[in-house]
Structure formats: C-alpha cells, structure tokens
Amino acid sequence: MEQITDINRYLDRMSKPLQEKLKIAKYFSKDVKSVLDVGCADGTVTLALADMFPTVNFVGIDLDDDFVDLANEKVAGRANVRFEKRYLRDKLAETERYDAILFCSVLHEFFSYGEGISSVVKALSDARELLNMGGEIIIRDMILYEYADKSQLWLTDILKKISREELKPQIDDFEKYFGKMNSIKSVNHFLLKYMYADNWQREVKENYVPVSFETYDRIFELLDMQVSFQRSSTIPYLKNKWKEDFGFSDDELESFRSTGIIVAAK
Ligand SMILES: C[S@@+](CC[C@H](N)C(=O)[O-])C[C@H]1O[C@@H](n2cnc3c(N)ncnc32)[C@H](O)[C@@H]1O
C-alpha cells in the first residue's frame, strides 16, 4: 500500500465526518450484541459506537500496525471494545461470530490495494461466514448508481465549471488513471477527491467509487443475503463546498452523491 505521507492528517480527515459516520448506528438491529468493525484505523468510529452502545461488544480490526496501536492506546478501561491487527480472513479460523459487521469507508480500499472486485467479493463472503444467522453486513462508503455513468444531464455546463486553470494539473492526473472526464460519474469521482491535495499522489490512484449499488446487489444475491436498506446521499458539508468552489446550481448539485449505505442480512 502506498505510504500515507502524514498519518495525523489522514486520521484527522477521516474523523471529521464522525457524526455523519455514526449514523450507521441507526441500522443496528435492536438485539445486536456483537459488532466487528473491519478497517477500523485508529478506532475513532469503533470507540464512539462502543460508548453509544455500552452493552454491545465491539471488535475492531485493521492491517495497519500503527493504527491498531493508536486504537489500543485509546481503549482506556472500556470493557466492551478491543482492537486487533488482523486480516478479515484470519477471523474465520476463530469461533467468535458477530451480529453486525461494519465496512465503513473501507471497501474501496480493499478494491484499490487488493485485487479489485475479487477482494471486495472475498471480503463480503468472509463477512457472511462470520455473521450469526440473521446478522447484518453494513456498508458505508462512496457508492454511485450505474446510471451516473450514462447521465449527460447538465454535463457540458458542469464540465465548464470544473475546468478551472488551477485544477488542471489535478484533472490531468485524474484522467491519466481513470480516463477522460466525460460523464457525471467521472466528475462525481473527481469531486470526491480534488480537495485531498496534501496526499494527492496516493489519493489520485485510489478508485473511490469502484463498486456500484447494482454490483453490490448482485454480490449479495449470490451470497444469498437480503438487501434490507440502501441509500445514496450527499453530506451537507460537501454539497456546500461544491457549491462554493464551482458555483453549481441546485439542479447540478443534485447530480452528485458522496455517500452510500447498504444493509444486507444473512
Ligand atoms: C479510510 S480508512 C477508514 C477507517 C474507519 N473505518 C473510518 O471510517 O473512519 C480505511 C482503513 O481500512 C484499512 N484497510 C484497508 N484495506 C484493508 C484490509 N484488506 N483489511 C483490513 N483493513 C484494511 C486501512 O488500513 C485504513 O485504516
């Protein structure tokens, strides 16, 4: 995985939308007793959830030693949470099973730093095995619908607004990895990352939106799981930023999304 040049900035950036991320708690079923948080980083989301649900047991796993060390430093006497440096797959050899498994801003990294879609399918398939019967996988990530790739609505005006001189180097880099920016989906993808200039060389290569809602539907159908909830939305902070930075109209802004939630039950 390409080096993160400034770990503190990376963690700070991830923790900023914490309140937004904590909304995933709405999708826990009433009788949830155990939660596995996959790709927990320094545990910010896991710990906040553990505080919100003191009678639920949380396990956070991540591949990154430094993040897991930081997470362990923050546990501070909480009895209902622990962190492990572990591959998801290694959990299959253990007997512990879970009522909910979270993938919060993680599956696009499995895709980009693993083997593409096969890493996502394997992760969800492993997660299914780690669930108790009736348990749920909850995904929160940047997810778009396939129709975003076909839509041409307002595209010409939107491209004019995006093509600002000072963004040209970033647009060129982006197009090197993802091809010409010529659809609402590609503009949406760029809008999700142009602000990460400080870690740009790492960020530009990462596919933020590799798996569409439709593809997740197909994966869960194969896994014999029922998708019980799906939502696509835009966090207000980003909507305002895009409006300020590019002067998009409300109609134009409606073309873009930042966040997808999918809940699927075993
Ligand atoms: C963008 S961060 C998200 C952290 C946290 N879930 C949040 O929402 O704030 C992605 C995390 O996934 C971890 N990660 C990436 N690929 C992974 C894998 N295959 N297994 C476990 N963790 C992984 C990274 O180390 C990183 O800490």
| Tens digit of each residue's pLDDT (9 = 90 or more) over 128-153 | 999 999 999 999 999 999 876 677 77
SS3 content of the chain, % helix, strand, coil (to 5): 50, 20, 30
- Closest residue by CA, ligand 1 atom 9: 14
Alpha-carbon separation of residue 253 from 143, 159, 193, 228 (angstroms): 16, 13, 16, 27
Atom of ligand 1 at shortest range from CA of 15: 9
pLDDT at 4 over 70: no
Atom of ligand 1 at shortest range from CA of 103: 6
Question: What's the chain's length in residues?
Answer: 266
- Closest residue by CA, ligand 1 atom 16: 110
| Helical H segments across the chain, by residue range | 7-15, 18-21, 44-52, 65-74, 107-113, 117-129, 155-162, 168-178, 184-193, 200-203, 213-222, 236-246, 250-253
Q: Does residue 64 line the site of ligand 1, with CB under 6 A?
A: yes
Residue 153 Cα, ligand 1 centroid: separation in angstroms? 34
Q: What is the pLDDT of residues 161-205, one digit of tens each?
A: 999 999 999 999 999 999 999 999 999 999 999 999 888 998 999
pLDDT of residue 19: 87
pLDDT of residue 49: 96
Mutate to test the pocket of ligand 1, among 109, 141, 209 (most ligand atoms within 8 A of CB): 109
CATH: 3.10.20.600, 3.30.70.20, 3.30.470.20, 3.40.50.150. Which one for 7-145+207-237+257-265?
A: 3.40.50.150
Taking phi first (over 0 means left), then psi (-120 to 50 degrees means alpha), and beta for anything else, what does residue 260 get?
beta
CB burial of residue 58 (10 Å; 0-12, 13-18, 19+) = buried
Alpha-carbon separation of residue 204 from 177, 199, 235 (angstroms): 8, 8, 21
* Residue 3 pLDDT class (50, 70, 90 cuts): low
- The pTM of this model reads 0.93
Atom of ligand 1 at shortest range from CA of 87: 20
Q: Does residue 45 line the site of ligand 1, with CB under 6 A?
A: yes
Short-list 171, 222, 214, CA closest to 193? 171
Question: How confident is the model over 217-221, as a mean pLDDT?
Answer: 98
pLDDT of residue 153: 76
pLDDT at 1 over 90: no
Please, which residues have CB within 8 angstroms of residue 254's CB and are 6 or more apart in sequence? none
User: Within the chain, which residue ranges are assigned CATH 3.40.50.150?
Assistant: 7-145+207-237+257-265
Residue 39 Cα, ligand 1 centroid: separation in angstroms? 3
